Amino acid sequence: MNLAELNTIAQAMVTPGKGILAADESSGTIKKRFDAIGAASTADSRRDYRELLFRSLDAMSGRISGVILYDETIRQTARDSTPLVRLIEQTGSIPGIKVDKGTKPLPFCPGEVVTEGLDGLRERFVEYRGLGAKFAKWRAVIDIGPGIPTETCIACNAHALARYAALSQEEGIVPIVEPEVLMDGGHDIELCYEVTEWVLKTVFDELYRQRVTLEGMVLKPNMVVPGQQSPKRASVEEVAEKTVRVLKSCVPGAVPGIAFLSGGQSDVEATAHLDAINKIGGLPWKVTFSYGRALQAAPLTAWKGENTNVPAAQRAFSHRARMNGLATLGEWKKELETA
Ligand code: 5MM
């Protein structure tokens, strides 16, 4: 493991003005997204859609520091036979790979899940490195509800995240550590704060125990927001203030960057929150985005699975990438959405 190299990649992933495109939907998830726009999900249609994103030159070269790919995508070639990984590299963006194998019910913890995928992971990292991956991603899912999360669930997921991160660094690949506290449910913002704090403290404790180098990783957390069904809504400023407070109390300054997930927020909401967080300023880490839905909702809707809609989809993607790029600098304004 070369620590300087890991740090250089991690710093590039969180370059100010840029952020990460999470295009790592598993086959089940991308099918749901395609169903919603009336497009068939086949290996070719998934390739066509991702190719249109990676060929959006303005967005990719100006605003997207890295792309998280799914196992199928990292092996695919564009229509003209160029490997998709090569297309990404040609724009100056960095290819990465999702390595977790999704969640399974956690025994004796009703309503809770644990992320799987550690078996054979060392060997898979070697292969992914050969395919061009410079960073990786593993997502743990923590739900809030009556009696949950349990300590068992948080500990098991934190342990797996740290095992993954250590194996990733051993192979010279920067781990994105993603402990997601879900927005589902009627809980208020205070409870989201408490659970996020508990999760982050446990995760960093495990990362320390398993000798993960903080300078060579990127954290991908949720923002502190009320549950989607909560009647008590929070202002953009409150979300930003609480998110910054919890991160400052849990995330060491040695971590180069924090790249948020959007978690079901609307795309403009996710941009406004990121912008407000960066407007607070004085943060010890770079703070950016690693959005899936909040970057792709607009291009998916514009595309609808039709070749003729590719330019419109690329414009929609470039717009969201630009808005979020500005938000990483605290320079976004609502008026720019319609300009
Ligand atoms: C793009 O969605 C990712 C993969 O999801 P599945 O494994 O369930 O198919 C997901 O991990 C994503 O990277 C993060 O949750 C962030 O995406 P959002 O949409 O929350 O910004």
- CATH second-level architecture of 3-330? Alpha-Beta Barrel (3.20)
Q: How many Å lie between the centroid of ligand 1 and the Cα of residue 139? A: 8
Residue 81 has pLDDT above 80, yes or no: yes
| 148-156 contact pairs (CB < 8 A, 24+) | 148/109, 148/111, 148/112, 149/112, 149/195, 149/198, 149/199, 150/109, 150/112, 152/106, 152/108, 152/109, 152/112, 153/106, 153/109, 153/112, 153/113, 153/114, 154/198, 154/199, 154/202, 155/202, 156/106, 156/114
Residues 121-151 have pLDDT tens digits of 999 999 999 999 999 999 999 999 999 999 9
Residue 339 has pLDDT above 90, yes or no: no
User: Is 220 considered catalytic here?
Assistant: yes
Q: What is the mean pLDDT of residues 303-330?
A: 98
Q: If you take atom 3 of ligand 1, which residue's CA is the nearest one?
A: 25
- The pLDDT assigned to 244 comes to 99
Q: Judge if the beta carbon of residue 226 lies within 6 A of ligand 1.
A: no
Peptide bond just before 95 cis, omega within 30 deg: no
Q: Label residue 330 left, alpha or beta by phi (over 0 means left) and psi (-120 to 50 means alpha).
A: left
Q: If you take atom 20 of ligand 1, which residue's CA is the nearest one?
A: 263
Q: Judge if the beta carbon of residue 139 lies within 6 A of ligand 1.
A: yes
pTM of the model: 0.98
- The pLDDT assigned to 154 comes to 99
Domain residue ranges in the chain: 3-330
- The pLDDT assigned to 1 comes to 66
- The pLDDT assigned to 216 comes to 98
